[in-house]
């Protein structure tokens, strides 16, 4: 099983195992958006759970290059 959470998940004082601090500025909002996958015997990734409700505004495409994942 693999799970990816929003980069604004939790709060700075939390020790989220899926999210490490990328900056000294606290940009987290406690967002609970995530997607969870199961990988079957053939290596196929299957979405088993997800929550697409972010509790914050999303970045515009013109600012995506500023995100830590990019």
Site residues for Zn ion per CB under 5 A:
6, 8, 31, 33, 54
Which of 42, 53 has the CB closer to Zn ion?
A: 53
Output the smallest distance, CB 34 to Zn ion, in A. Answer: 9
**Do the beta carbons of residue 68 and residue 50 sit within 8 Å?**
no
Output the smallest distance, CB 7 to Zn ion, in A. Answer: 7
Output the smallest distance, CB 9 to Zn ion, in A. Answer: 7
**Do the beta carbons of residue 53 and residue 32 sit within 8 Å?**
yes
CA separation for the pair 20, 10 (Å, rounded): 10
């Amino acid at each position: 099983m693999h799970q990816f959470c929003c980069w604004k998940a939790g709060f700075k004082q939390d020790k989220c195992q899926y999210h490490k601090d990328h900056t000294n500025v606290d940009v987290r909002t406690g967002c609970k958006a995530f997607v969870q996958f199961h990988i079957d015997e053939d290596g196929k990734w299957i979405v088993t759970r997800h929550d697409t409700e972010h509790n914050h505004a999303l970045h515009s495409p013109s600012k995506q290059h500023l995100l830590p994942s990019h």
